[in-house]
Chains A and B, each alone.
Chain A
């Protein structure tokens, strides 16, 4: 027998919450970046599950778009991280405090 839609959505919600807690807890920028990727993947899983459930291909196209945006985000985000490291010699987000005071 096949697991229902609810099982996939529950897995998606659990992964999304783990990723959100990771974004809160992590302090180096690359760790936060990886947790954001985890959240995007959780959303992708729910898209594919809905696509299977309703027999519609639109959900899988959305997953394709999300993956492209994640790739663009990886390129730009890692560029930002490298620039930040070059200026501060650290990737700790607590060191990004120019706007403080």
Chain B
């Protein structure tokens, strides 16, 4: 039962990923990518990781893809122009992809051959409570670092997308006069 579900979801994910790469229109690619995210969230549910599945839906399909679609709409992008040069490099890209796939599968095959210590507490792992406990006891420092990283990303994004070359001096002087 789980196996059938897994193969349906895996096929859906791969089809959506190929469609994401294939489509020239960025909006179609974005919608296909949302399909990949949702099928991956369902796979996480079958892997007994409900917390990660919900966060996947919230963060990826919710926040990041809304941001991407927003930027696509804001910039009013049209379709990709046909490639005029470097067309002969297309097969090389495909061959590189195949080599990468073979390497990845070989590494994973070698990993699955290693002896493993299967766990008995498998159904506890993945609940929000165990993740929260690990997050705030054993892995407190990485969580703090991630928080600082997010703060830096917010400030950096605001500074980056500000209109350069015309600093708003009036507001600065106004606040300075107000302070005096």
Q: Chain A residues in contact with chain B, CB under 8 A?
A: 1-22, 24-28, 30-31, 33-35, 37-38, 41, 44-46, 48-49, 51-58, 60-61, 63-65, 67-76, 78-83, 85-86, 91-92
Q: Once the chains are docked, how many angstroms separate the CA of A24 from the CA of B80?
A: 14
Q: Once the chains are docked, how many angstroms separate the CA of A30 from the CA of B24?
A: 11
Chain A residues within an 8 Å CB radius of B75: 81-82, 85, 91
Nearest-Cβ distance from residue B42 to partner chain A, whole angstroms: 12
Q: Once the chains are docked, how many angstroms separate the CA of A25 from the CA of B80?
A: 11
B2 interface contact, C-beta 8 A: yes
Q: Are B157 and A52 in contact (CB under 8 A)?
A: no
Interface magnitude class on chain B: 35 or more
**Minimum-distance CB pairs A-B, first 7:** A55-B119, A72-B153, A13-B104, A21-B97, A9-B108, A22-B21, A79-B160
Chain A residues within an 8 Å CB radius of B164: 83
Q: Once the chains are docked, how many angstroms separate the CA of A38 from the CA of B106?
A: 21
Provided the pairs A1-B3, A3-B3 are in contact, do residues A57 and B13 lie with their beta carbons within 8 angstroms?
no
Chain B residues within an 8 Å CB radius of A19: 17, 21
Query: Can you list, as one digit per residue, whether each of B97-115 has a CB less than 8 Å from chain A (1) or not (0)?
Result: 1101100110011011000
Q: Once the chains are docked, how many angstroms separate the CA of A80 from the CA of B75?
A: 13
Chain B residues within an 8 Å CB radius of A63: 52
Chain B, range 81-100, C-beta contacts under 8 Å to A: 81, 83, 90, 93-94, 96-98, 100
Q: Once the chains are docked, how many angstroms separate the CA of A31 from the CA of B71?
A: 12
DSSP class of A's interface residues: helix, strand, loop or mixed?
helix
Q: Once the chains are docked, how many angstroms separate the CA of A46 from the CA of B56?
A: 14
Provided the pairs A28-B80, A61-B139 are in contact, do residues A17 and B101 lie with their beta carbons within 8 angstroms?
yes
Q: Are A49 and B60 in contact (CB under 8 A)?
A: no
Query: Can you list, as one digit per residue, whether each of B117-152 has a CB less than 8 Å from chain A (1) or not (0)?
Result: 111111001100011001100010010001001101
Q: Once the chains are docked, how many angstroms separate the CA of A71 from the CA of B111?
A: 30
What are 14 pairs between A and B in contact, CB < 8 Å? A1-B2, A6-B108, A10-B105, A11-B13, A17-B97, A18-B20, A19-B21, A25-B90, A34-B30, A37-B33, A46-B108, A54-B117, A56-B119, A75-B154
